[in-house]
Amino acid sequence: MPLVEITYAPHVAPEVLRELGDVLPHLVSVAVECPEEPYDGDLRPGDVELRFRVLGPFDRSGLDVVIEVRSKWFESRAVDRQERVDGLYEAVAEATGLREFGVYLSLPVAAWAQGD
């Protein structure tokens, strides 16, 4: 279950943020799909969590948007993580038209539990 934090500059239009919210669950799921956690195209609650945060007055960033994806480490994900993040970057650019953004993929050793 990926956790996705989207940090954005105050001037980023609400329509762009709405579009990110619409496309990121699928795009992230495709990017982190692996044999241990296959993606069947049917997202359910808790599959991808998005958190949006505007840059604060003391934050510093040269980008309009930074998308940070944290997903559980599996060797099959780790071996090609750069290709995964490059593909996610391209997919986000194509889906949203964003140009001044970055994508960070982190694969920590983690566990997840969730109620029904």
Partners of residue 5 on adjacent β-strands = 51, 68
Domain annotation covers residue 116? no
* Amino acid, single-letter form, for residue 7: T
pLDDT digits (tens), the chain, 116 positions: 799 999 999 999 999 999 999 999 999 999 999 999 999 999 998 899 999 999 999 999 999 999 999 999 999 999 999 999 999 999 999 999 999 999 999 998 877 777 77
Domain annotation covers residue 114? no
CA distance 105 to 108: 10
- CA 84, 37, 25, 63 dihedral sign is negative
CA distance 89 to 93: 6
CATH number of the CATH domain containing 18: 3.30.429.10
- CA 107, 110, 111, 115 dihedral sign is negative
Domain annotation covers residue 111? no
Q: Is the pTM of this model over 0.85?
A: yes
* Domain that includes residue 49, residue range: 3-106
Domain count within the chain: 1
**In this structure, what are the phi and psi dihedrals at residue 111, rounded to the nearest 5 degrees?**
-140, 160
